[in-house]
Amino acid sequence: MSIASTKIIEAARELLKLCGYFVDNLWHVDDVHFMCEQLELPRISDEDAMEVFSIANQQFDGETGVSWPKLEEALKLFLQRRQLMATSYEALCV
C-alpha cells in the first residue's frame, strides 16, 4: 500500500472517530484472500471479497459481530452461490 493511501485511510479513520464511530477493527479484502489460502480455496477477486463482506454483514449477529468464523461462512456461501449460478448458466446454454 502506498504512503498516500495509508495517509488517506488514517485521515478517514480519524474523521470517523471524531464523529463517534469505533474504527479500530477494520477488515480488508486481503483478509478474505488469506482465508482462501488457509482453506485451500481458489483466490477470488477483490470485488468478490467485498461481496463476501456484504454477505457477512447481511448475516450480522450482534453477539459475535463480523468474525473469522462468520467470514468463513460468508465465503463458503458466496462460493456455493457462484457455483450454482455457473451450473444454472451451463444448463441454460445446452
CA distance 17 to 37: 33
Average pLDDT, integer, range 13-21:
94
User: Is pLDDT above 80 for 7?
Assistant: yes
pTM for the whole thing? 0.80
pLDDT score at 30: 95
User: Per residue in 40-59, pLDDT tens?
Assistant: 999 999 999 999 999 999 98
Neighbours of 28 (CB within 10 A): 13
**Which of 24, 33, 37, 25 has its CA nearest to residue 52?**
33
Average pLDDT over residues 4-32: 92
